Homo-oligomer: A and B are copies of this chain.
Amino acid sequence: MTDPFREAQPEKPAPKAVISRVSLYLRQLENLQRFGHKTISSSQLGSLLGINDAQVRKDLAHFGPFGHPGIGYQIEELIPILRGILGIDRVWKTALIGLGNLGRALLRYRGFRGRGFQVIALFDTDPKKIGQTHAGLTVHSLQELPTVAAELGIQLAILTVPAEVAQAVADLAITSGIQGILNFAPAPLNLPETTALVSVDLSTQLEQLAYKVLTAHAGQIPPHE
């Protein structure tokens, strides 16, 4: 018996652009499944994203032979494979650092849980916030990060701290054994190569919107997301 997830593991990491497109494919497939679709061809999937069919086939072929000649991709089969490739088929023990406005908002964001990101500890440096309870969790002092992270086996950290302290907080997270950081602070972070970093870039999203309005304005209407 073959395990499709194991088969799907690439020999070496796929290029970043491929992984970004895998996320887009997954999102489209989840939408299609919601609307009751069972199969999709590479050209249909590509056309939903403005990508040509050869690119779709090439991207997915990085991970294994998933297409069925004459049928296309089986949506129900492909979704768990892509979730496995991306690593969102498991639970990631996550700390949220910085209980400001954005941190508290993200605690309520439903998408984290759906992607396996389970926030199990909160940290702040503000004496007024330490000891408070949010979403059933008590806010620890940031100084306790190394001991709490070791005790609970925390793997990831969401950083919602001011830009000026982001680097120092990230450094502490790394020495506490945290393997990946989702950075919402509007500051570039300089991290060792062994730490995964994703910075949430609201600027890019704003640029996409400005461009769309601009072109719609000129009577040139780009397609929706």
The residues of A with any CB-CB pair to B shorter than 8 Å are 12-13, 15-17, 19-20, 22-24, 26-27, 31, 49-51, 85-88, 92, 100-102, 104-106, 108-112, 114-117, 155-156, 179-182, 186, 188, 191, 193-217, 220-225
Contacts and interface: CB of A to CB of B under 8 A. Distances in A.
Contacts of A27: 201, 203-204
Contacts of A101: 101, 104-105, 108
A88 B26 CA distance: 30
Contact of A206 (B22, B24, B112): B112
Complex copy number for this chain: 2
A201 B26 CA distance: 12
Contacts of A86: 207-208, 210-211, 214
A109 B102 contact: yes
Contact of A194 (B105, B156, B196, B216): B216
Given A105-B101, A208-B19, A209-B182, A13 B222 contact: yes
17 contacts: A12-B220, A13-B221, A19-B211, A31-B188, A86-B210, A87-B210, A88-B206, A92-B213, A101-B104, A101-B108, A156-B209, A156-B213, A181-B209, A182-B206, A191-B224, A197-B212, A198-B206
